[in-house]
Amino acid sequence: MAARSVETTGPAETESLGAELAGILDDGDVVLVRGELGSGKTTLVRGAARALGVSDPVTSPTFSIGHRYTAPGVTVSHLDLYRLAGLEREDPALLADYLGPGRIAFVEWPQDAHEELAGARIRVTLSHGGGDRRRIDVDGIDVDELPRASDGGASR
Ligand code: ADP
Ligand code: MG
């Protein structure tokens, strides 16, 4: 996928972009969603999840690191790792439940330390543009740029 940059002028447009993004995703894909608080990360994921067939309301995970939504043919995972940021150690199994075959995962606040996310295929970066404007950059990730999940894991 070619890098793409758009500006949206309201939440509905950001949801539409999420829906468009959903159209190019495959089983097992991980999408990293970055941007400041209120930049529209959850809004974009909501639009994508809807397009993938999720009918339950898509809300920010608060009591857990993520939600899993059942859609026809796939489970849609929505993770928010904000509160994991300060932890030096984490249980890799924590993320594993949300990733892998049969799932498409959207991850807000991904951290470099999350090696499980090294296989992410797409990165979305949102930023405030004043008022209801948001700039949204979507780009494919060259997996070679990131540490592989299989490297160095055993020594940690
Ligand atoms: P995040 O997950 O990044 O913290 P949310 O999606 O939860 O952000 O919230 C974004 C807020 O900004 C919502 O209240 C939404 O209605 C509002 N908003 C205003 N304009 C936009 C836009 N262009 N795109 C997305 N959200 C917008
Ligand atoms: Mg959010």
- Ligand 1 atom nearest the C-alpha of 37 is 4
Q: Which CATH superfamily is domain 4-142 in?
A: P-loop containing nucleotide triphosphate hydrolases (3.40.50.300)
24-68 pLDDT, tens digit per residue, is: 999 999 999 999 999 999 999 999 999 999 999 999 998 889 999
Select from 33, 43, 127 the residue to mutate for testing ligand 1; criterion: most ligand atoms less than 8 Å from CB: 43
Going from N- to C-terminal start, the domains of the chain cover 4-142
pLDDT band at 99; cut points 50, 70, 90 = very high
* Residue 77 CB neighbour total at 10 angstroms: 24
Cβ of 77 closer than 6 Å to ligand 1, yes or no, is no
Q: Give me the pLDDT at residue 85, please.
A: 63
**Cα–Cα distance, 118 to 73 (Å, whole number):** 24
Do the Cβ atoms of 61 and 80 come closer than 8 Å? yes
Closest protein CA for atom 23 of ligand 1: 10
Query: What pLDDT is recorded for position 103?
Result: 97
Task: Give the single-character DSSP code of 143.
Answer: G
Any atom of ligand 1 within 6 Å of the Cβ of 41: yes
Q: Which distant-in-sequence residues (6+ apart) come within 8 Å of 134 by Cβ?
A: 7, 8, 14, 39, 40, 126, 127, 128
pLDDT band at 152; cut points 50, 70, 90: very low
